Amino acid sequence: MEKESFVKRYGLLVLTGLVVGGAAVLLTALGNPANMGFCIACFLRDIAGALNFQRAGFDAELGAGIVQYVRPEIIGLVLGSTAIALARKEFRPKGGSSPMTRFIVAVFVMIGALVFLGCPLRMVIRIGGGDLNAVVGLVGFAAGILIGIVFLKKGFSLRRAYRQSMVEGMIFPALMAVLLVLVLAMPGLFQFSKSGPGSMHAPLLAALVVALVVGVLAQRSRLCMVGGIRDAVLFKDFRLISAFAAIFVAVLVGNLCLGKFHLGFADQPVAHSEWLWNLLGMVLVGWGSVLLGGCPLRQLILAGEGNTDSAVTVTGYVVGAAVAHNLGLASSATGIGTGPVALAVAVGFVVLAVISAINMQKLEG
């Protein structure tokens, strides 16, 4: 039996991880908020803001909130995935695997991510910047994944998806393309922050090009932050987690070179130090993402490949972001939100537990 070489097994994933980490450092150097070169949760939240679904931190004088911007990174990731999937005949429209259940789970994954202040990708980027609050988040994330695995082993699945038409599969990528055209041709349609994280961004074209490259690599390598820990535990497969490690190393080295590495809990950029909420927020993200079959980044890439269940999931994230900000559930640099955060997180756990329990069935085979 020939043994797969180390390079063949890990090469593409490690390369993708290094590029994603490098891209994150680059985008921050070009203007994105600190430790937020890439953050799928934050960027979808900013898009929700640009569409005026939320205007957190609204300043009457400036006439805008603090997290409103059409992040071209999201558009680029999806379209990069679509382009390479079409080129390699991997674009396969499908859906129907419990879409509304996915929508609900996605809403709570987003609420959890905004309690913590970042998706799993930003969590790793924050750790690479020395933010120890994100290490607390990682503990919660891993715990959440372990809870999800317990249900997977008991036969959890959101049932199967079915083939759909090319038109159905292309709608989400087309929406992203339309969003890009509109932001270029009619920027007046959107709300843009004039202060706060939403006002900090890399130049549009640079962000778009970097994200297209990352989208292509992520589609080819199947990069997934949740899959990393999940597959290591379930199958002793360390391929995806090697990309996780590569992102960390690239961000760490980049930050050290630029003098942007600051180890500690206090005064970390766009982060708070309420450890319990950092932990619990990421338990929700980890658990929910196992139920969804992938992290927010992976959902964007799958939506780009024509998976309409993932497109529904991304829509759920956007709604979750609006809910989180409008109800005061999202955290900020000063601490957790002023709304019923504990209640929302508790409801999230109950919802995930019910969904996990009622979707267990004996697997065939």
Nearer to another protein, 125 or 149 (CB): 149
Nearer to another protein, 92 or 194 (CB): 92
292 binds another protein, rule: CB under 8 A: yes
Report the nearest approach of another protein to the CB of residue 107 (Å): 18
235, 259, 263, 334: which one binds another protein (CB under 8 A): 235
Residue 262 structure tokens: 């600051």
Report the site for another protein in 299-338 (rule: CB under 8 A): 309
Amino acid at 171: I
Nearer to another protein, 250 or 355 (CB): 355
Report the nearest approach of another protein to the CB of residue 344 (Å): 26
Nearer to another protein, 59 or 168 (CB): 168
- Secondary structure (DSSP) of 246-257: HHHHHHHHHHHH
Piece of the chain touching another protein by CB under 8 A; list 130-138, 208-216, 292-300, 316-324: 292-300
Piece of the chain touching another protein by CB under 8 A; list 28-36, 111-119, 222-230, 334-342: 222-230
Nearer to another protein, 170 or 233 (CB): 233
| Sign of CA pseudo-dihedral 193, 188, 312, 204 | negative
Residue 175: which residues within 8 A CB-CB, separation 6 or more? none
228 binds another protein, rule: CB under 8 A: no
Window 160-179: contact mask with another protein (x via CB under 8 A) = xxxx----------------
158 binds another protein, rule: CB under 8 A: yes
Tell me the sheet residues that pair with 335: 332
Instruction: Return d(Cα 120, Cα 112) in angstroms, integer.
Output: 11
Instruction: Return d(Cα 324, Cα 110) in angstroms, integer.
Output: 8
23 binds another protein, rule: CB under 8 A: no
Nearer to another protein, 115 or 290 (CB): 290
Tell me if 163 sits within 8 A of 92, measured CB to CB. yes
Q: How many CB atoms lie within 10 A of CB 350?
A: 11
Q: Looking up tokens 């890990």, which residue turns up?
A: 10
154 binds another protein, rule: CB under 8 A: no
Nearer to another protein, 284 or 292 (CB): 292
Amino acid at 141: F
Q: Which helix (H) or strand (E) holds 95?
A: strand 94-95
363 binds another protein, rule: CB under 8 A: yes
Tell me if 289 sits within 8 A of 226, measured CB to CB. yes
Piece of the chain touching another protein by CB under 8 A; list 68-76, 117-125, 221-229, 243-251: 221-229
Nearer to another protein, 4 or 61 (CB): 4
Three-state DSSP string of 160-221: CCEECCHHHHHHHHHHHHHHHHHHHHCHHHCCCCCCCHHHCCCCHHHHHHHHHHHHHHHHHH
Report the nearest approach of another protein to the CB of residue 92 (Å): 6
86 binds another protein, rule: CB under 8 A: no
What sections of 305-340 are H helices per DSSP?
308-326
156 φ/ψ angles, rounded to the nearest 5 degrees: -65, 135
231, 261, 265, 333: which one binds another protein (CB under 8 A): 231
- Of 357, 101, 142, 161, the C-alpha closest to 229 is 142
Report the nearest approach of another protein to the CB of residue 2 (Å): 8
Contact positions toward another protein, by CB under 8 A?
Answer: 1, 4, 9, 90, 92, 94, 96-97, 152-153, 157-163, 222, 224, 227, 230-231, 234-235, 237, 292-294, 309, 363-365
